[in-house]
Amino acid sequence: MAAKPQPTARRIGLGHELRQLRKEARLTIAQAVDGLSVDESTLQRVETGWKSFRQAGHLRELLERYGITDDDQMDRLVALQRDASSREWWSDGSTNMLSGMPRFLGIEAAAREIRAFHPTVIPGLLQTEPYAAAVHELHKLIDESTSEFVQQSVRLRMKRKEALTREDDPVKLWVVLNEPALRYPVGSADVMRDQYAELIKLADLENVTIQVLPQGERGYVALHDVNIMILGDGLPTTIQSDTAWFTVAVTDKPREVGRFSRMFDAMTSNALPPRDTPKILNQLSREISV
């Protein structure tokens, strides 16, 4: 599967350009929209990449307010706005997503590199379909989710995973696997063996790095999931973490990005080197009881 233009990334890029143009014009958000067809809330959400203008005319009148007179620059930004308003590959209306999930999916799809850790399970981009289904089944009663939701969520997860093996510019993935998470039984013994085999296969890809953080070692271990998405092209690195309220939280605030980056760096320094990963996984596979 080839990498495709990503509307969310384009919205974020357009928002950053518009924010820079507004600052160069020495205008506050309130001053920028005064007398225009858009309000402060709309412009704020556009600048942060959360939404697009409904009409190209709204963008043009804003650019005129900022003193943009170059036709080529204005046409480029209007074209970017048009692309940013298109539908994402997953937005077919068939999946009832968690709050925050659409935003996360759009950013993840645009990422050039992803760094991930989860304290209790194998991160989603590395999961096999049976393992992913078993994880959802474990949470089904607690979250009161339906079988349809579970099936749709698993299909979506498998679609996301295709980014690792697409021919055109596959995403780079660096994962730290917590040994207790690897030992946590999810599904049957066959499900776990197949999952270990899948990890060994993925670890052999040039764009995938997998380290194991051994249990019993002293050192830092994050108590929640860590997901760092590096977008490139001047776009902000963004982090994601699940919440206790069954939502998906994402932010590109530098302070939080820095905190997550330090967390991940601390764990990679304590983890075993990637060359040891296949040996560890093979050993775990042999230890599984039938």
Tell me, what's the pLDDT at 243?
A: 66
* Lowest-pLDDT choice from 7-16, 145-154, 178-187, 227-236: 7-16
Which tops the pLDDT comparison, 92 or 177? 177
Q: Comparing C-alpha atoms, which of 195, 226, 229, 198 is closest to residue 213?
A: 226
Whether the per-residue pLDDT at 251 is higher than 50: the answer is yes
| DSSP E strand boundaries for the chain | 113-118, 172-178, 208-213, 226-230, 238-242, 248-251
The burial of 81, by beta-carbon neighbours within 10 Å (0-12 exposed, 13-18 middle, 19 or more buried), is given as buried
3-state secondary structure of 237: coil
Whether the per-residue pLDDT at 74 is higher than 50: the answer is yes
Do the domains 7-84 and 101-287 sit in the same CATH topology, yes or no? Answer: no
3-state secondary structure of 217: coil
Spans of all domains in the chain: 7-84, 101-287
Structure tokens belonging to residue 60: 């043009």
pLDDT band at 69 (very low <50, low <70, confident <90, very high): confident
For residues 120 and 180, is the Cβ–Cβ distance under 8 A?
yes
Whether the per-residue pLDDT at 95 is higher than 60: the answer is no
Whether the per-residue pLDDT at 85 is higher than 80: the answer is no
Other beta carbons within 10 angstroms of residue 109's beta carbon come to 21
For residues 166 and 174, is the Cβ–Cβ distance under 8 A?
no
Tell me, what's the pLDDT at 90?
A: 56
CATH architecture of 101-287: 2-Layer Sandwich (3.30)
* Lowest-pLDDT choice from 104-113, 158-167, 195-204: 104-113
Q: Comparing C-alpha atoms, which of 65, 61, 68 is closest to residue 37?
A: 61
* CA 250-187-162 angle, 5° bins: 45
Whether the per-residue pLDDT at 241 is higher than 90: the answer is no
Percent of the chain with pLDDT over 90: 46
Predicted structure pTM score:
0.77
Tell me, what's the pLDDT at 117?
A: 97
Which tops the pLDDT comparison, 21 or 101? 21
* CATH superfamily of the 7-84 domain: lambda repressor-like DNA-binding domains (1.10.260.40)
| Cα(14)–Cα(270) distance, integer angstroms | 39
Residue labelled with tokens 């995403």: 171
| Cα(252)–Cα(274) distance, integer angstroms | 28
Which tops the pLDDT comparison, 54 or 161? 161
